[in-house]
């Protein structure tokens, strides 16, 4: 039994969906669970719609109309006008219509999950319908009935016992009848609300299903030849890893390597299931395999860039030393506001920390910290992480930039720059 995950780039247009079908056909002798992300940049567009709805800006309906038009243009190229998928997609979009008719009253993260999740629900309906039309028998399922989470919106925490029970009982009978197509990134609460598992969380979805089903492997199909030492959008001379160990992959994702969601590896490691990262444009290519005994060879250092960072420093208002009690209070506020620390440093009188910027979470954190601490911060920064770094790597990467914080250990160097 194989688990496939197709990212947004692989289904961004008609050609991508046709290619997905051709890839799947090469494996039809296997039981297949197929997980699909939102198409192209749909998640970004739905994030813009969410922001516009919450702020009640004039361009809300323009953004929404663009999202719908994008999907219906693809439908018109793939299907005859009377195909039932048109009604299925229209009915799915009605969920957005119902929400944006009213003024926003709920917490931003809750609204985000209810709106942004529509991208995966629509994309999987389209992919499932096309596969059936193209002769790949499959059944569409709603992942929210199988992956159960708590009420931590935008970062749903999986309730593993309930999830494992739902998947292990519900999915095998469906796989006996054909392929199964479902959504990445999403979960459901006990109150039947939608949660998301964190940005780019479709990889994590694949590992959840694979670990619960004892899959032979997980393959995530990407627009890159495998896992590279750096993002090819920013670096020209990248090299591909043929193999990586679970532990090295976990380190890379922890520091922000975006090709795999950080939570993906651990469920696979626990179940001894290999993860293959392969190019959807060349399905016969070897890609990268991540496994327990994967061999780590570093011809070049691993370079990871995280943009849109905040560097925040706090000092006790009474100028007392930063103590363990202070740190406990500070970390409690970070956890309470769902802010994840990327780098931190302490001195006698201050604590500095770098993290991803999310407007609502940041503002709540700032308000909480200011009750007991003096707070300074810079935003719009970049965090550069270099694994297995040669001596000159940081100098080359920081030319012309101002270094605001630097931290170097045996295997990893990190700098926050502007």
Query: What's the predicted TM-score (pTM) here?
Result: 0.90
Residue that finishes a domain, picked among 242, 262, 291 = 291
Please check whether residues 323 and 285 belong to one and the same domain: no
Structurally, the chain folds into a number of domains equal to: 2
Please check whether residues 95 and 225 belong to one and the same domain: yes
In 146-274 the beta strands, taken as DSSP E runs, fall at: 179-183, 186-188, 194-196, 217-222, 243-245
Between CA 18 and CA 288 the distance in angstroms is 24
Cα end-to-end distance, the chain, whole Å? 47
Please check whether residues 75 and 162 belong to one and the same domain: yes
Kindly state the DSSP code that residue 103 receives in the 8-state scheme. P
Please check whether residues 360 and 211 belong to one and the same domain: no
Between CA 296 and CA 47 the distance in angstroms is 37
Taking Cα atoms as reference points, which of 347, 201, 306 lies closest to residue 260?
201
User: Which residues in the chain come in under a pLDDT of 50?
Assistant: none
Please check whether residues 151 and 277 belong to one and the same domain: yes
pLDDT of residue 1: 97
Asked if the structure places residue 249 within a domain, the reply is yes
Give, in order, the Cα–Cα distances in Å from 229 to each of 3, 257, 382.
Answer: 25, 9, 18
Please check whether residues 58 and 152 belong to one and the same domain: yes
Please check whether residues 341 and 247 belong to one and the same domain: no
Taking Cα atoms as reference points, which of 268, 161, 255, 169 lies closest to residue 211?
268
Please check whether residues 60 and 92 belong to one and the same domain: yes
Please check whether residues 323 and 279 belong to one and the same domain: no
Please check whether residues 257 and 306 belong to one and the same domain: no
Element (H, E) at 136: none
Please check whether residues 153 and 279 belong to one and the same domain: yes
Between CA 11 and CA 18 the distance in angstroms is 9
Asked if the structure places residue 220 within a domain, the reply is yes
Residue that finishes a domain, picked among 260, 291, 322 = 291
Residue that finishes a domain, picked among 226, 260, 291 = 291
Asked if the structure places residue 297 within a domain, the reply is no
pLDDT of residue 389: 80
pLDDT of residue 323: 87
Asked if the structure places residue 296 within a domain, the reply is no
pLDDT of residue 237: 87
- Kindly report the CATH number assigned to the domain that includes residue 310: 3.30.2130.10
Structural domain of 365: 302-417
Please check whether residues 169 and 249 belong to one and the same domain: yes
pLDDT of residue 322: 87
Between CA 209 and CA 215 the distance in angstroms is 8
């Amino acid at each position: 039994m194989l688990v496939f995950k197709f990212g947004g780039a692989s289904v961004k247009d008609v050609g991508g969906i046709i290619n997905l079908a051709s890839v799947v056909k090469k494996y039809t002798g296997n039981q297949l669970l197929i997980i699909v992300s939102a198409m192209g940049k749909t998640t970004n567009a739905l994030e813009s719609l969410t922001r516009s709805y919450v702020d009640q800006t004039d361009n809300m309906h323009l953004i929404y109309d663009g999202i719908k038009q994008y999907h219906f243009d693809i439908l018109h190229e793939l299907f005859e006008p009377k195909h039932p998928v048109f009604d299925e997609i229209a009915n799915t979009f009605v969920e957005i219509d119902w929400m944006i008719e009213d003024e926003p009253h709920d917490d931003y993260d809750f609204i985000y999950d209810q709106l942004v999740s529509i991208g995966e629900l629509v994309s999987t309906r389209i992919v499932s319908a096309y596969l059936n039309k193209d002769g790949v028998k499959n059944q569409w399922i709603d992942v929210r009935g199988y992956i159960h989470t708590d009420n931590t919106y935008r970062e749903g925490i999986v309730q593993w016992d309930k999830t494992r029970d739902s998947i292990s009982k519900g999915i095998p009978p469906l796989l006996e009848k054909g392929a199964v197509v479902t959504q990445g990134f999403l979960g459901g609460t006990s109150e039947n609300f939608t949660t998301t598992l964190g940005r780019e969380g479709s990889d994590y979805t694949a590992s959840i299903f694979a670990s619960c089903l004892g899959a032979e492997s997980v393959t995530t199909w990407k627009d890159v030849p495998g896992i590279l030492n750096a993002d090819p959008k920013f670096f020209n001379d990248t090299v591909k890893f043929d193999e990586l160990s679970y532990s090295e992959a976990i380190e890379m994702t922890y520091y922000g390597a975006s090709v795999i969601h950080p939570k993906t590896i651990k469920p696979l490691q626990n179940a001894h299931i290999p993860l293959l990262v392969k190019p959807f444009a060349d399905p016969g290519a070897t890609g990268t395999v991540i496994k327990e005994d994967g061999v780590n060879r570093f011809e070049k250092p691993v370079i990871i860039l995280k943009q849109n960072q905040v560097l925040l420093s706090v000092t006790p208002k009474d100028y007392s030393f930063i103590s363990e009690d202070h740190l406990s209070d500070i970390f409690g506020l970070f956890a309470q506001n769902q802010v994840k620390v990327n780098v931190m440093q302490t001195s006698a009188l201050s604590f500095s920390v770098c993290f991803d910027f999310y407007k609502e979470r940041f503002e709540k954190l700032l308000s909480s910290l200011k009750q007991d601490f003096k707070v300074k911060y810079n935003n719009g920064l970049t965090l550069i992480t270099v694994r297995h770094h040669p001596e000159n790597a940081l100098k080359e990467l920081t030319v012309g930039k101002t270094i605001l914080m630097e931290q170097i250990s045996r295997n990893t160097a990190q700098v926050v720059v502007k």
